[in-house]
Structure 1
């Protein structure tokens, strides 16, 4: 339906110039307003009510537009909100396409969509990722990837955090096509505003990644935060900063009967190889802890090298069947 038009007004008589047909012209003018112009206004109003997509609102107290619009039109317009079936009901309403998205639902709607897939032959350089990129990316693609063998695919997100080319990029490993996914491991880095340089990748630690195998490269931690283990030589704990603590098993059935001045000692030192190697003997120190009645005996240790320690036990009087345990603190790198 085309927009209705308006016919021209009849000639308007002029009082300043007497005209013989003044009465006829005035009658025609009033007739135009009373009939023709009125009908044309009513036709235009009907056109607005039938075709307008301005919805049931009030303008200066006057309702305009449709209160019951046709299909595919907006349904309600109030003072400060839009609603109806063509509008997202709330932040969690992600069903269907072609809806007007609410501000509180824009992020949820974006994150509900699947990202792009870039397989081994995609030639997608992660160093050149554009802000807003997200998807599953094969580590066979070019670019500077996080250190270590973290998996064959990473969920990559590249998010603008300021002006220019400044972006925050995250790489999360652990994807599996079937079965229970592996524990996710996440790394992140930031690109400069000029886009010329990336920071080194930094591992994001979580409850799942605090414990594990510690490692380092050039003095920089690259593995877990804490590593704990044990074997026949005792227990150990390693920290990402290089600190290591080793505790021996109990050395029992010791005879402290060898005269040494006014004291007595074990006839020969006890040789102990710690359960985990140290980075150097110069950084090692520790103590010998007496088991049982501590007043009857005590011990000392001597570091021969980073993997060999001698333990001697002393007593003020001859003693048999004594027990001790050793602890050494040092660095593993």
Structure 2
């Protein structure tokens, strides 16, 4: 339904005009005010009810505000309470929270007074606290008191309370922390950081109270340490040569496989020692299915009465795609996944090991 167009205003009579002409123009103006303009306002009422207003407490599924002309668009939407967008399902937030439910699984919520905000997936603040919105895993990002907090939760049942496990946070002073002490890695075997810039070196725990079975190197370990000193070489990394050619820089260190052989030559297992590392993983191109959301259309008559049951139609939200994914074990990897492995060395421990034998 197009927006009504205001009727043209008739000619305004002038007192200097002849009496007959004045009467005709006054009659036209009177008719415009009592007939044309009243009809125009009635047409606007019908337009608002059927096109862009709330009827009987329910939105009729059409656009609020005009996009053409731009002046018809709303500049601000004030809501006391919560807003549901993109899903027919309502959600009752906790009394101290306000929120926008973006889909059936996602919500943006905030506390008006406490200064907290949370972007959640498969969970929302209900009257009794965080609750699952679907039978699946849940997670959220929260900002509270200047800190940025990332949380996750194991799979749960719709309506059950959610118990979050903090995975990481940025404090208000910029300090980045893991969710729990000494329990998480920074990066992974298949997702490494290329360079770490730091003003000082890493601090490793060396407190006597954290250690046991403290002893000197035995004879076999000493021989391996001396052999390890002779394994130091210079080399270039293949990926650096591929990217930079002859300008790739030289590096110094050991070859991990040679270090493992030095332990083996003395009847020792290199992996009993923390200086040598080895990781394996699997990668595969995984078909990620398309995501659809329900779009609801409601039809009303001129009095605002619902003409029929709302029409629900599945609308494509995210198209299907192929995504390269990493898996930590053969059991979790799909059939046909490609296996990778890589050796690594903790050079701080290797250097300490060599120095112990000198």
| TM-score when normalising by structure 2 | 0.30
Q: Which has the higher contact order (CA 8 A, sep 6+)?
A: 2
Greater fraction of residues in strand: 1
| TM-score when normalising by structure 1 | 0.32
Which is higher, the Rg of structure 1 or of structure 2? 1
